[in-house]
Amino acid sequence: MELDLNKFRTLIPISALYDDNLLHLASRTRVARLQCGDVVFNIGDEDTDSVFLMSGTIRETSHNRQAAEISAGSEESLYALANFKPRQFKAEVVSESATLAWVDTLLLEKLLAWGQFSPDLPPSEKRSSTGGKDAEQTEWMMSMLNTAAFLRLPAANIQSLFSRLEELPVKAKDTILSFGEPGDYFYFIKQGKCKVYRPVGSGEHMLAELGPCDSFGEEALISDAPRNATVTMVTDGKLMRLAKQDFVELMEEPLLDWVDAQAASNLISEGAIRIDVRLESEFEKLGLPGTINIPLHRLREEATTLNRFRKYVLYCDSGQRSSVGAFLLRQLGFDVYVLKGGISRSAGFARPQG
């Protein structure tokens, strides 16, 4: 079902967005028509959306059965329905039908905080894309903003990050990173494709093929170790690179959740899964019972086998390799934690997982 953009742009606080941001939010908004008696949400629900009434009438009922009706077109309908979480009201359709829009609250807040410098400007004065290079840049930035990693970053970091990125035109067969070299930049792919591989004798062992909005180069920056893979362009394209110091300040720290042995053990007892990112040979001799072993160099390709609805605690000997793995999984949208100091300093973490 199509979203009525004219009505959508009158909703609060959506009305404060610039046109580019508003259209990006609209493209990721779900719209549906419900029938009389259908429940929009229940008391206690902890969904992450803001729900707006676009047409029809709904009734909100509290736990003590106090009720109020809201109709589209009223002042109340300009705001999200009962937006405290967990939900404090039950909402159900009481008109013959009703149209509702489910907006990603986190994305909305990011767009408001990141791009909204003059929230009281009238719609006619808001910035919009003019086409050409600016439109291309805006489209890429909007796509990046919707990735799992960027959704976790503070809005201020995102603003600073985009201002510090340097665009790098590249050609097919260009080598961007070389195995064994020191790390200096973190890269986002704006256009094109590249391959990530490790040199093996006269050949190569493929690790991944990456495309627009993917990123690479974090391992050497987080661990202060030489590059552990070579990255070569498969097609012509454009990369955006971020210097090491900016990467550490704006991305590494906000995306990593360090936990001590006790906190890690609590997570395990609540159902989190331990992942040992050391080599198979290390794990065979020193691994903990009830633990998954995914060596760091295989983590990107094996991430597809992990359950996105579970939490994960990563560890290695010192925390260096596991922090790289956690950064990678966070970018892919996983809920992951890093054992501070590694297993060598966290004897209490070594209890069997039950």
**pLDDT by residue for the chain (354 residues), tens digit each?**
899 999 999 999 898 787 877 888 899 999 999 999 999 999 999 888 999 999 999 999 999 999 999 999 999 999 999 888 889 999 999 999 999 999 988 788 777 765 533 333 333 344 444 444 566 777 788 778 777 777 777 776 787 888 899 999 999 999 999 999 988 999 999 999 999 998 888 888 898 899 998 989 988 888 777 888 999 999 999 999 999 999 888 887 777 889 999 999 999 999 999 999 988 888 887 788 889 999 988 898 899 999 999 999 999 887 878 888 888 898 888 999 999 888 866 656 655 444
Architecture of domain 141-251: Sandwich (2.60)
* Topology alike, domains 5-125 and 141-251: yes
In this prediction, residue 347 carries a pLDDT of 57
At 127 the pLDDT is: 46
Per-residue HEC secondary structure of the chain comes to CCCCHHHHCCCCCHHHCCHHHHHHHHHCCEEEEEECCCEEECCCCCCCEEEEEEECEEEEEECCCCEEEEECCCCHHHCCCCCCCCCCEEEEECCCEEEEEEEEHHHHHHHHHHHCCCCCCCHHHCCCCCCHHHHHHHHHHHHHHCCHHHHHCCHHHHHHHHHHCEEEEECCCCEEECCCCCCCEEEEEEECCEEEEEEECCEEEEEEEECCCCEECHHHHHHCCCCCCEEEECCCEEEEEEEHHHHHHHHHHHHCCEECHHHHHHHHHCCCEEEECCCHHHHHHHCCCCCEECCHHHHHHHHHHCCCCCEEEEECCCCHHHHHHHHHHHHCCCEEEEECCCHHHCHHHHCCCC
The pLDDT of residue 53 is 97
Residue 113, pLDDT score? 64
At the second CATH level, the architecture of 256-350 is 3-Layer(aba) Sandwich (3.40)
Which CATH architecture group holds 5-125? Sandwich (2.60)
Q: What is the pTM of this model?
A: 0.59
pLDDT at site 344: 62
Query: Which pLDDT score is estimated for 234?
Result: 97
- The pLDDT assigned to 349 comes to 66
The domain spans of the chain are 5-125, 141-251, 256-350
